[in-house]
Amino acid sequence: MKKLFSGVVLAMILTLISLPAYAAHSTIKIDGVVVTTDAAPETKNNRTMVPLRVISENLGATVNWKDSKVTLTNNKMQITLQPNSNTVIKNGKTELLDVKPYLKNNRLFVPIRFIAETFGCQVNYQNSTVTVNTEPLVINNVKVKAIQYEYHMTMGGIVQQIQGNTYNKALYKVFNENKGKVVDAPANYSWQINLDVPGSYYKDGQYNFMSHENKSIQQFDLYSLNGPFSEEELKGYPEVLIHDVTADKWYSSTVKARESINQLIKTATNNGFVKVLSNTVV
């Protein structure tokens, strides 16, 4: 009996030794928000590994795959790496990682500390939580805490807070880069859809960039042209307008800009960076 017990214990030890060096899942917190991922972070060789999407979407890095290699670009920093290799090229210079990126369930896992710090983020690990802090958006020398986003439906409205410096910067960039020519304020515009007046505009959303004192630093409103009307009735009216409320100026814009804004909010929502402040929809 004693020999049998010893054999079982020995078998268990050998099994544990043969297992990969993975540990319990870690929590990733970026700019104070616990990130929602489609594949949980995990620890390998004392390094927290995260699916590539966490980096690309929440740290503002663009991703390009070519010849089994992936290149991450964020501002002026570029990193090229590949699965199962500890060699990384950082802005043209070769470095060695102490843990190799790897593929698991069709996801590429990368070491978050190395990449986040390379992109200028502050990283801290405590109590199984990896905290990453990115550089905030600054408008007129004031740091932006979050975006207060409001939209209305037929029976009520919803006010949300969009968090995360990456999303704040991306949305601010979309608004500023998609201002077309300056136009006059439309004769008819409101939260309500008006199908009686050609050339009237419906307010898609209100975006307030808020300071840490919860004061508005910059406000943009987005409007879409009401329809359906004939092409002749809508001739000369831009499909989308941006109202820079802070400067009280109106600009023509594009459907593509509106779609980019909606996609950013959808991504932020899926990753846990959007919080509902109030909901009066009935």
Instruction: Look at the chain and report how many structural domains it folds into.
Output: 2
Residues 156 and 116 in one domain: no
The tokens describing 169, both together, are: 């910067």
Contact 200, 258 (CB under 8 A): no
Residues 77 and 128 in one domain: yes
Instruction: Report the alpha-carbon distance of residue 131 to residue 163 in Å, rounded.
Output: 15
Domain boundary among 82, 108, 133: 133
Please report the pLDDT score of residue 281 as a whole number: 87
Residue 250 lies in a domain: yes
Contact 132, 29 (CB under 8 A): yes
Contact 264, 205 (CB under 8 A): no
Helix (H, G, I), strand (E, B) or coil at 227: coil
The tokens describing 133, both together, are: 């802090």
Low-confidence ranges of the chain (pLDDT < 50): 1-24
The tokens describing 111, both together, are: 């070491």
Which domain, by its residues, includes 144?
A: 139-279
Q: Choose among 5, 113, 11: nearest CA to 59.
A: 113
**Domain containing residue 72: CATH number:** 3.30.457.10
The tokens describing 1, both together, are: 């009996």
Residues 87 and 120 in one domain: yes
Helices (H), the chain: 2-18, 52-58, 112-118, 165-177, 231-234, 255-270
Q: In what order do the strands lie in the sheet with 69-74?
A: 62-66, 69-74, 77-81, 87-90, 93-96
Flag whether the pTM goes above 0.85: yes
Residues 199 and 104 in one domain: no
Residues 63 and 88 in one domain: yes
Domain boundary among 102, 133, 164: 133
Q: Is 48 exposed, middle or buried (0-12, 13-18, 19+ CB in 10 A)?
A: buried
Helices (H), 104-201: 112-118, 165-177
Q: In what order do the strands lie in the sheet with 33-34?
A: 33-34, 27-30, 129-133, 122-126
According to DSSP, residue 269 is labeled H
Contact 42, 22 (CB under 8 A): yes
